[in-house]
Structure 1
Amino acid sequence: MARKPTLRDVSRAAGLSVYTVSRALSNGDGVSAASRELVLKVARELGYVPNRAAQELRKNTRSSVAVVTASTSNYYYIDLMKGIQRTLRLSDRTAIVADIAAEGVYTPELEDATIQDLIQSRTAGVIATLTLAPHNMKLLEDWDIPVVFVDSIPHESATRVPSITTDNFSASMKVGAHLGEHGYRDWLFLAYPARWSTRAERERGIRAAALKYGAGIEVIESENDVESAYATLTAYLDTPGRALPRAVIAGNNPMLHGALRVLHARGVRIPDDVAVVAFDEFAWAALLDPPLTVLNEDSETIGVIAAQTLTRIIDDQIKAELRGDPPTPAYRPEDRRELSSDLIIRRSCGC
């Protein structure tokens, strides 16, 4: 493997001191515009990439934020990241993504390793989409790394940590009310594991709506990926004597994808035979046949609010350090927010 160019290589090629090259690459003061342009040109030609982690250790500029996700196959995260990145750019910060359930299966070992890596790289802060283990929260706290949760809630021991979530109980009640108004009385909720904290309130809302409208409700659990959802629903429907439910509620995008594959493979007509409603809007939901009725959480707005909250906390830490005070994250009660959602009615529900 070819040797990677170093800062000293750029210095030699540019005919400037290592100090000047370092200042130019970090956009520091005391470097002329001509020298800065020369250094950037030489660095591009050599393929030199600054070691940002090492710079963070020396300068503590707090410029990189980690977004810890859990199964990026969920389209929810696409709009979430759009909101996060757009907001972080306003403060010249960047976001990196660490997926601790890439195949839809969570393991505590991967969570532990990920948190260790983030601490070693001195990430400025963390936006987490999955409830982190208490010992990992303690590690982040010990290193003064602030955390904001989205689409999940902190462990009960983390009483002050911010969270930006959807009111999932009310969201599920909206879904159930719509199915009830259609007169459907046999519902199936295809759910992801309870390790994802949104599951509990979504299921509670669906069950409450079923009770209110006199519907029967079955809940089946799948791992949080498309193939598992397909296999889980297939096994359920293959049970001898099992009839098709009148309505299927998919707990998220991977559950929806798996459910649609099963129904299409069996020639089930949507919504004539089975109505389908899903959580989380996605870009082409309206383009499917039939167009899908979905619960829209507006994850882009959630991402914006989470990034704004984290940015404020990090900026306050920098100010504290300049005053000579400890950079302990300063959380506020209003940093815990629960947002409303909208049911987007299309045709898959029978409308």
Structure 2
Amino acid sequence: MARPTIRDISRVTGLSTYTISQALRGADGVSEDSRARVLAAANDIGYIPNRAAQDLRRTNRDSVGLITASTSNSYYLDLIGGIQSTVQSLAWTVIIADVAVDGHYDAEQEDRTVRRLIEARVAGVISTLTLSKANTELLSKWDIPIVFVDSSPPAEAPELPSVTTDNYQASMQVGGHLAGHGYKTWLFLAYPAIWSTRVEREHGLRDAAASADAGLVVVESANDAVSAGQALKSYLDTATAVPDVLIAGNNPMLLGALEHLQLRGLSIPRDIAVVGYDEFAWSNLIQPPLTLLNERSGEIGQQAARTLAEIILAQDAAEKRGESSMPAYRPDHQLQVGAELIVRQSCGCGPVGHHSFTPQPTIPSAKGR
């Protein structure tokens, strides 16, 4: 796909390439009307100026961009480690940009981030959030490959590479364990659905609860610990009874929940059992040790980096042969990494080797997977 140039802006606006260049640089001598026309046309056709060099050709493939959605979640720290350990052998640099600082997603920040990465002429992008259709198309215009992790490709481009967890089956696994305890009232403290994992996690928990003849209540919170604690407080303040188990959708939800349960004087698991998503390094040091779903985010990061590197190196080889530099995606570039429920004591089990629950048959998947 041909990359947009100043000449394309000239054809759209009818202005000279000199005027367009001056307008893009913010130089004097250009009317506000002309400058506005130039900027609007540049945005419409996806033109991105190269801040690193005036040469519009990408000559060095030695950096990749990583778009995260809240680095306050320890899941991402392990993910970043996996990516960096993989690209280190290629002498590549990872440029990290967060589009959901403290868990609050910012669409304008996403737009700015994508444009800055293109300006920097990164060789490829790994994104932990499903990007907007416009930003996905913009990366495609510039032949910049993208791999999604911990999120699905956009519906408009389902062929794009991804390395994910089967969150539906993982949630069925969590639900099967809770069913074994006989819990009948489940509370899912969830982050917003703009993180695509939320939908599949909730779907799996709903199906598992229905199979166990249990009730599931979903309480949504902004994706940070303070908001999670406030959302839990609001729910418990009006609930007729404390639920049997709280399921924390991720690390920020878990932290907020634990802080509020402590303030409320509720004992885990005596008064309420707790399980969560996303294993972290010191989860077994908390009292009681936490039962968590381990999605192996470090391994996901390694696999995503290997996939992206394979696509980039294939682009290099194609260009040397005089062929198109458009990324070539294959079905095997869409991968899933298995998850494991690490059972400790916060769910109501005894010490390792003395689990106080009755194993249940595997709950069939409603999605046929």
Band of TM-score, shorter chain = 0.7 to 0.9
The percentage of counterpart residues that share the same residue type is: 57
Match of 2:317 among 301, 316, 319: 319
| Aligned equivalent of 1:189 | 188
Amino acid at match of 1:321: E
| Aligned equivalent of 2:210 | 211
- Tell me the SS of whatever aligns to 1:249: strand
Distance 1:75 1:99 in 2: 14
- Which range is displaced more, 283-292 or 88-97? 88-97
Amino acid at match of 1:176: G
| Aligned equivalent of 1:253 | 251
Amino acid at match of 1:161: L
Structure 1 unaligned regions, length at least 5: 1-51
| Aligned equivalent of 1:262 | 260
- Tell me the SS of whatever aligns to 2:90: coil
Query: Is residue 97 from structure 1 mapped to residue 81 from structure 2 by the alignment?
Result: no
Structure 2 unaligned regions, length at least 5: 1-50, 350-369
Q: CA deviation at 1:322?
A: 1.1
Q: CA deviation at 1:55?
A: 10
Contact map agreement 1:56 1:62 (CA 8 A) in 2:
no
Q: CA deviation at 1:59?
A: 6.4
| Aligned equivalent of 1:134 | 133
- Tell me the SS of whatever aligns to 1:66: strand
Distance 2:54 2:294 in 1: 40
- TM-score, length-scaled by structure 1: 0.83
Q: Deviations over 1:62-89 (max 9, x none)?
A: 1111110001111000110111000001
| Aligned equivalent of 1:16 | none
Q: Any residues of structure 2 matched to 1:328-339 within 5 Å, and which?
A: 328-339=326-337
| Aligned equivalent of 1:148 | 147
- Tell me the SS of whatever aligns to 2:103: coil
- Tell me the SS of whatever aligns to 1:285: coil
Distance 1:92 1:53 in 2: 19
Q: Any residues of structure 2 matched to 1:199-348 within 5 Å, and which?
A: 199-239=198-238, 241-348=239-346
Q: 1:53 to 1:291 in 2, by over 3 A?
A: farther
- TM-score, length-scaled by structure 2: 0.79
Contact map agreement 2:296 2:337 (CA 8 A) in 1:
no
Q: 1:261 to 1:55 in 2, by over 3 A?
A: farther
Distance 1:135 1:57 in 2: 21
Contact map agreement 2:236 2:242 (CA 8 A) in 1:
yes
**Regions of 4+ moved over 3 Å:** 52-59
Distance 1:121 1:282 in 2: 33
Amino acid at match of 1:128: S
| Aligned equivalent of 1:115 | 114
Q: CA deviation at 1:276?
A: 0.3
Distance 1:236 1:304 in 2: 39
| Aligned equivalent of 2:71 | 72
Q: Deviations over 1:39-68 (max 9, x none)?
A: xxxxxxxxxxxxx94499676121111110
Contact map agreement 1:57 1:122 (CA 8 A) in 2:
no
